[in-house]
Amino acid sequence: QAKYLAQIILVGAQVVGRAFMRALRQEFAASRAAADARGRSERPQSAAASRIIGISLQEAQQILNVSSLNPEEIQKNYDHLFKVNDKSVGGSFYLQSKVVRAKERLDEELRIQAKGDKEKEHKAET
């Protein structure tokens, strides 16, 4: 009887292991597809910035509640959200760090746009 119990446990473990591996492969494929889609929807430099900083441009805009890349609006919302989420006033360090990452991502996008504008001006002059 112990032999049958051991076989049942072994077969059960194999079934759970296979299901786990299948789910892991599906999650990996979905993650890769999402990353590819995100890369296609953004300009190459913007997609690279999303990968480096770890947050997409759209997510950063949602976090800081901005619809356009207006530096003054970004800074104003950043200051407010950073202050509100300060741990010393009962805020969340996690949320505060998301606010910081969002600001970094938007600042990087502004830098990329400024560089693109400068290149366009240079091409127009020549």
Are 99 and 59 within 8 A, CB to CB? no
CATH code (residue 109): 1.10.287.110
- Domain residues for the domain of 52 are 43-125
Residues 81 and 31 in one domain: no
How buried is residue 59: exposed, middle or buried, by Cβ count under 10 Å (0-12/13-18/19+)? middle
On whether both 92 and 104 belong to a single domain, the answer is yes
Residue type, 10: L
**30-74 pLDDT tens trace:** 888 776 665 555 555 666 666 666 788 889 999 999 998 999 999
pLDDT, tens digit (0-9, with 9 covering 90-100), for 72-91: 999 999 999 999 999 899 99
Q: What is the pTM of this model?
A: 0.58
Instruction: Judge whether 91 and 53 are in contact, CB under 8 Å.
Output: no
CA dist 83 and 77 (Å) reads 10
